Amino acid sequence: MLKRFFDVKISRRDFLRKAAIFLMSIGAGVELSAFFDRKKKVKLDKETLREAMFYKRLDKDVVQCEVCFRGCIRKEGQRSFCRNKINIDGKFYSLVHSRPSAVQIDPIEKEPAYHMFPGTEILCFGTAGCNFRCKFCQNWHLSQRPIEEMDIIYELSPEDCVDIAIKKKIPTLSFTYNEPTSFYEYVYDIAKIAKEKGLHILFHSNGSMNPEPLKELLKYADAVTIDLKGFTKEFYKNTSSAKLAPVLGTLKIIKEEKKWLEIVNLHIPGLNDNPLDIKRMCRWIKEELGDDVPLHFSRFFPNYRLTNITATPIKSLEKAHQIARDAGLKYVTIGNVPGHKLNSTFCPNCQGRIIHRTHFQVLKNNMKNGKCIFCGYPIAGLWEL
């Protein structure tokens, strides 16, 4: 990969451009592998596994998962669609509980969560597996592989995860990189302990949980970032092997449960960037969720199975931003374009730049007590730790 990005025979301008893309692809986190030991080998022994939540027995040796919309029905020895659960002796077990493959400290802006404790750090966890099959996934090496194929697996109990956050003085734990729905029990157990210790919980999801498990998890969550990948059934079916309706239902439940919500839309040329669909999406957000839900339009870069599509033109992102603002959404940003003015947050009342960002870094926070310092307008979000 480094050779591809740092070829000898390129101009200085191309070198800087390619280097910037490479650095964006690896993010801005701090990996924590020195903090704990790697796991040796995954044992498919039910004595070492955590029994799954939200499933039912249909027959003697047949179970049905009820965590997400898929409702996987599995016989003895079979795994769920997300690859992370297995039927052993008529019981469903999680294969990834206490076995994360990604543990890292990130800026909270990377999630993105722009209206939640700006400039602070989050302790992030991810595992193998996902219940979507997104052709554009930037973390496909985690999400689209089973645990046996992971290069790294750590031994980390829920208590261990919380202890790391406390020792490193990190106020928020986040579940990200792959879909939290696919490691639901691990997320739930960590979140429950973390809240008892006074920590905050954030998770980044594709929005596919069923209502009952979602509401149960939200009891211990402070905020959720949801990928609203597009606004047509066809897009969800063709690019993610998924459905739009469950995601819209999830967004409504998060608002009903009064948890802080932010939405990300990865803007992919020719697939989900139709201006009419963007307009419908923004109107739906305003009418069903409210005009103060932050919407992030994120720039697409060729990845995984969509390497034939070029990166999103910046003008396309700016057009989507304008559509959202015209629809009445107060907080709209552009992501994955370091240095762009619209990566910052502006006061909807006086238009002052209240949070000045460059990519994941907060350069200046012009907020006080949750209000714009220029005009005193109250800004929706979670501002005080």
> Could you please report the per-residue DSSP string of 213-279?
HHHHHHTT-SEEEEE---SSHHHHHHHHS--SHHHHHHHHHHHHTT-EEEEEEEE-TTTT--HHHHH
> Does residue 319 lie in a domain region?
no
- What is 81-106 written as a DSSP string? TTS-EEEETTEEEESSTT--SEEEEE
> Does residue 365 lie in a domain region?
no
Average confidence score pLDDT of the chain? 91
Using 50, 70 and 90 to split pLDDT, how confident is the model at 59? confident
Query: What is the mean pLDDT of the segment spanning 273-299?
Result: 98
Query: What is the mean pLDDT of the segment spanning 327-353?
Result: 98
Query: What is the mean pLDDT of the segment spanning 378-385?
Result: 96
- State the residue for tokens 């909807």: 348
pLDDT score of 4 = 28
User: Which residues contact residue 297 at a Cβ distance below 8 angstroms, ignoring those fewer than 6 apart?
Assistant: 265, 267, 317, 320, 321, 324, 332, 333, 334, 335
Token reading at 158: 């829920």
pLDDT reading at 307 higher than 60: yes
- The radius of gyration computed from the CA coordinates of the chain, to the nearest angstrom, equals 21
> Does residue 63 lie in a domain region?
yes
> CA 342 from chain center: how many Å?
21
Token reading at 232: 């047509």
The CA distance from 385 to 383, in Å, is: 7
pLDDT reading at 21 higher than 70: no
pLDDT score of 180 = 98
pLDDT score of 42 = 59
pLDDT reading at 39 higher than 80: no
Q: Where are the beta strands (DSSP E) in the chain?
A: 30-31, 50-51, 55-59, 62-65, 73-74, 85-88, 91-94, 102-107, 121-126, 172-175, 200-205, 223-227, 260-267, 295-299, 332-335, 345-346, 353-358, 361-365, 367-368, 371-372
pLDDT score of 138 = 95
Query: What is the mean pLDDT of the segment spanning 209-233?
Result: 98
Total tally of structural domains belonging to the chain: 1
Taking Cα atoms as reference points, which of 94, 177, 80 lies closest to residue 138?
177
pLDDT score of 32 = 57
Reduce the DSSP state of residue 185 to 3 states and report it.
Answer: helix
Using 50, 70 and 90 to split pLDDT, how confident is the model at 304? very high
Query: What is the mean pLDDT of the segment spanning 246-275?
Result: 98
pLDDT score of 60 = 85
pLDDT score of 36 = 53
Query: What is the mean pLDDT of the segment spanning 66-85?
Result: 98
The CA distance from 158 to 181, in Å, is: 16
CB 174 within 8 A of CB 194: no
Query: What is the mean pLDDT of the segment spanning 106-134?
Result: 98
pLDDT score of 220 = 98
Model confidence pLDDT, tens digit, residues 127-162: 999 999 999 999 999 999 999 999 999 999 999 999
> Does residue 90 lie in a domain region?
yes
pLDDT score of 55 = 98
pLDDT reading at 233 higher than 80: yes
> Does residue 228 lie in a domain region?
no
> Does residue 99 lie in a domain region?
no
pLDDT reading at 351 higher than 50: yes
Q: Which residues make beta-bridge pairs with 147? A: none
pLDDT reading at 297 higher than 70: yes
pLDDT reading at 43 higher than 70: no
Least confident of 43-47, 108-112, 352-356: 43-47
Structural domain containing residue 76: 46-94
- Work out the burial of residue 60: count CB atoms within 10 Å of its CB; fewer than 13 is exposed, 13-18 middle, 19 or more buried: exposed
pLDDT reading at 17 higher than 70: no
User: Which residues contact residue 128 at a Cβ distance below 8 angstroms, ignoring those fewer than 6 apart?
Assistant: 83, 84, 96, 101, 142, 143, 145, 146, 147, 149, 150, 178
Using 50, 70 and 90 to split pLDDT, how confident is the model at 15? very low
Segment holding 6, helix H or strand E: none
Query: What is the mean pLDDT of the segment spanning 217-229?
Result: 98
> Does residue 79 lie in a domain region?
yes
pLDDT score of 38 = 57
Kindly state the percentage of the chain with pLDDT values over 90: 87
Using 50, 70 and 90 to split pLDDT, how confident is the model at 48? confident
The CA distance from 72 to 82, in Å, is: 9
> Does residue 343 lie in a domain region?
no
